[in-house]
Amino acid sequence: MRIPKKPVSFCFSLFSPDVFPPAFSSRIRLVSRAFTSSDSFHGKRRGVCFGGIKLLHSGYPMEESHGTIVSDMKSPRLRNTDCSSGGQEPCIWSSPEGGRKLDVIGKQIFCNRSLNMKNIVAVGFDMDYTLAQYKPETFESLAYEGTIKKLVYDLGYPRELLNWSFDWKYMVRGLVLDKKRGNILKMDRHKYVKVAYHGFKELSKEDKVSIYGSTLTRDAFDEPDYALIDTLFSLAEAYLFAQLVDFRDNNPGKVPDTTDYARMYRDVRAAVDLCHRDGTLKQMVAKDPKRYINEDTSIVPMLKMLRDSGRATFLVTNSLWDYTNIVMNFLCGARTMDGIRKCNFDWLQYFDVVITGSAKPGFFHDDSRANLFEVEPVSGMLLNTDNGSPMPQVGDTSPSFSVKGPNKSCRVFQGGNVGHLHKLLTIESSSQVLYVGDHIYGDILRSKKVLGWRTMLVVPELEQEVELLWKLRDTRKELRLLRNHRDLIEDKIHHLKWSLKFDDINEEEKRKLTSELDVLESEREQVRLSHQQAQRENHHKFHTVWGQLMKTGYQNSRFAHQVERFACLYTSQVSNLSLYSPDKYYRPSEDFMPHEFDIFM
């Protein structure tokens, strides 16, 4: 068993010894007893590795508004500073300036497998939901509204769907949709269903057991009968599916009998695909990127830092060139298509290779036959290549490419496969590549299992979850004590029942034991109810429906299990890389078996 990582263990190499007041320091020691003073200030970690940030005096000057800023070492308190919000200066690990505190809890990089950045020669990024973090309240609502219109106008669903609204906070990642039964499930790492809803109606424990726990063979919960909600893009369609399930159940005759739950899900997926194919979503984003995409002023200094450290950088995205150029212009220079400053190609200076229209996850298979075309940035024209090398046009004596803009060192392509990328970057070993993405299956699993790339998963929800874990650390201790107390009472009850059944005792002693047993059973029920209520309240503080993202009860959730298996590193946003040295050696915490836990923890 892998014991979940401790929620907070600060890397004290960031701080001087007098930064924390005694009370705060003692609370830290309660959470991570494995730290000693010598460990803290010399980078030796036994708890979760959040990076050893050292304040070196080598800044990264930025054009225009891209400044540098880090912690004010004189302040004894930890203050929240959103390093990604528009108008604020970016936080850089090596900046000599002070003035603001880093958000040291929510912006950590967490480590599952040792990764020495000195061995990494190329760092790659996905774009959508990795470099570009979309705002769910606007972008997901836009996707939802577009899907509804496609269902009504293209697929013949009732017009009253047009009056529906979208609660963008309701769904979370890591859920599983049961297409046949119309259920939405959250399960633990062992694939036991812990939370289940039919549409928006919660299933009882008995229903969950009868449907998913009383079969001769274990269900794999995979396609084609189930759909996995593993990307933020999928939240709107999951919510719409739940609405359709309720609508079908509560409105007999309005949905044809031939349209079962599975058919409704296929229709939702078809409508989503129509929205993407006709360009509805991307056209709206392109007109006003600021409305749909979070500004992050730390992205440019992060990319500069990696390049200045000698790493190659690349971008691999499924988006095509026209949309990629608009989004990257916004992220790297706040430029928009209709704004005062027009889109240009300055952002290409931060990359060696850009591959658009990559068709991941198929891109990660070296035997993929996808052709590799070079993109002429100004016109968007696709030019044939021979595995990335220029090819002359008929009648030309030598191959030539159009001018690519102010930065000619970066080449832009469409299609191809990972073999082409390795050749373009002259990569000798897949383990020399770190790839950062947001999709477990599309970005992380294939690149890790098929190629052996090192991986970092971006989990935006993590920032709020880690901060809440810190606030609720005492509640977690109380829950553990209640659970232990309940176990102790049950052991006493079992012992008394055994004595009453098998021991040779007189009637008086039997009455005494029976009375004691009644008291214990009453106490057990009280503790059970208290424990359940405390668990429920803790569950609701994270999310009123689905609870903690990385947990289901006392077990890691299915999503957490996937993160642990396939992501070498994980963090809340890609620009958190800018808070760490590009030569950082990330080290994981120690694994514990159940027989070790009480001894060492």
- Give the catalytic positions in this structure: 126, 128
Residue type, 372: L
Q: Say if CB 239 and CB 141 are below 8 A apart.
A: no
Q: Is 528 helix (H, G, I), strand (E, B) or coil?
A: helix
Q: Say if CB 199 and CB 246 are below 8 A apart.
A: yes
Which residues have CB under 8 Å from 46's CB, separation 6+? 32, 34, 35, 39, 589, 590
User: At 62, phi and psi to the nearest 5?
Assistant: -120, 150
Q: Say if CB 223 and CB 265 are below 8 A apart.
A: no
DSSP 115-160: EEGGG--EEEE-TBTTTB-B-IIIIIHHHHHHHHHHHHHTT---GG
CA distance 296 to 574: 10
Residue with tokens 């020691």: 29
Residue 128 labeled ligand binder = yes
> Which tokens belong to 123?
């760092």
CA distance 363 to 355: 10
CA distance 88 to 104: 17
CA distance 236 to 275: 13
> Which tokens belong to 144?
């939802």
What are the beta bridge partners of residue 314? 124, 353
What DSSP designation does 338 have? Answer: S
CA distance 340 to 284: 18
DSSP 339-353: SSSPP-SGGGGG-SE
Q: Say if CB 218 and CB 210 are below 8 A apart.
A: no
Among 598, 427, 570, 553, smallest CA distance to 107 is for 570
Among 580, 597, 428, smallest CA distance to 14 is for 580
Using CB atoms within 10 Å of the CB of residue 419, give its burial: 0 to 12 exposed, 13 to 18 middle, 19+ buried.
middle
Residue with tokens 């999503």: 559
User: At 102, phi and psi to the nearest 5?
Assistant: -70, 150
What DSSP designation does 61 have? Answer: -
Q: Say if CB 140 and CB 284 are below 8 A apart.
A: no
Which residues have CB under 8 Å from 399's CB, separation 6+? 389, 390, 391, 392, 393
Q: Say if CB 54 and CB 76 are below 8 A apart.
A: no
Which residues have CB under 8 Å from 259's CB, separation 6+? 248, 267
Q: Say if CB 72 and CB 15 are below 8 A apart.
A: no
Residue stretches of the annotated binding site: 126, 128, 438
Residue stretches of the annotated binding site for GMP: 128
Residue stretches of the annotated binding site for Mg(2+): 126, 438
